[in-house]
Amino acid sequence: MTFTDLNQLRTFVTLYELRSVTGAARRLHVTQPTVSHSLKRLRERFGDELFRREGNDMVPTAKATQLFGPLHNALAQIDATVMGSDVFEPTGFSGELVLGLTSIGEQTFLPPIMTALGRVGADPRIQVERLDSDEVESALIRGTIDLALTVSRIATPRLWRTHVRSVEYVALSSGSHPLPATGPDMFEGRRFVRVSARGGHVYPVQALTEHDLMSQVVLTMEEYGTVPAVLEATDLVVLLPRHVAGVFCGWFPRLRIAELPWPAQSTPVELYTRREASLSQAQRWFRSLVLDAVAADEYKSQS
């Protein structure tokens, strides 16, 4: 295989990930005509159109989807071999790293991440981007963020994914207005806060709907940040992940956690990055640090 062949295959993988000739040219540091020429040669080689233009997107054909996994993995192995002798030294690293988090993720995951960075003596410029769940894949592939933590399951071969922690929901309320013992009637006469599911936390709305409690929602909010202060000042109740409720109780010790009377598991928190071939050494190091900082014990042995 010639160097030209490798460049063409790298163009294919990049175009598959970005779905854009312009984006592929930018990432590969070549001109758009160069990408178009490579695509023409690839089409001739594989006897397939590979990508069809639909609006502004280059949509892969079934043949392109079949080729992507093996070609991506082969290029990743080549890159790992070439770069294997280089050792990344985080001490003194001061580049920028962009972390995609929901508002609830900022509150629960950012403190341990910043603590972990301090322990290793790294001083990168961390920028946190607030993302809706349906923007995560696009933001990672286009390189506007380096890493994302979300409960939204993104099933795609274009991203690397691993579990961080399971998510079990509980009820949270003020100690001045505690909930009764866990049971089918524990929410009778109680009023609820509902928080937007833009970050991927859809379980609360599903549970409230399934158990005929939506009519008891009196406050709808966009973010979780002010929820604990609202709970402490009122008799309202919110459904949220146990690990988040624990953080809120640390801030407002008079809040009280109550178990739910029905199954309360949802999709787990997962960590996403681009695939190995598209990551810099700094990004690989950052992914490892974040995973170690935020993963629950149940998943650390699997990482």
pLDDT in tens, 246-286: 999 999 999 999 999 999 998 899 999 988 777 888 899 99
Q: Is the pLDDT of residue 303 over 60?
A: no
Which residue has 């109680």 as its token pair?
190
pLDDT at 82: 67
Question: In DSSP terms, which residues pair with 100 in a beta bridge?
Answer: 129, 148
Range with the poorest average pLDDT among 36-40, 74-78, 209-213, 227-231: 74-78
pLDDT at 123: 84
pLDDT in tens, 168-206: 999 999 999 999 999 999 999 999 999 988 777 899 999
* Residues shown for the chain: 303
pLDDT in tens, 202-246: 999 999 999 999 999 999 999 898 999 999 999 999 999 999 999
Which residues does 89 contact at the CB level (< 8 Å), separation at least 6? none
Whether 229 and 252 have beta carbons less than 8 Å apart is answered as yes
Given the DSSP bridges, would you call strands 96-101 and 57-60 parallel, antiparallel or unpaired? Answer: unpaired
pTM above 0.75, yes or no: no
pLDDT band at 76; cut points 50, 70, 90: confident
pLDDT band at 85; cut points 50, 70, 90: low
Given the DSSP bridges, would you call strands 125-130 and 96-101 parallel, antiparallel or unpaired? Answer: parallel
Q: State mean pLDDT over 283-290.
A: 93
pLDDT in tens, 94-151: 888 999 998 888 989 999 999 999 888 888 899 999 877 788 888 888 778 999 999 8
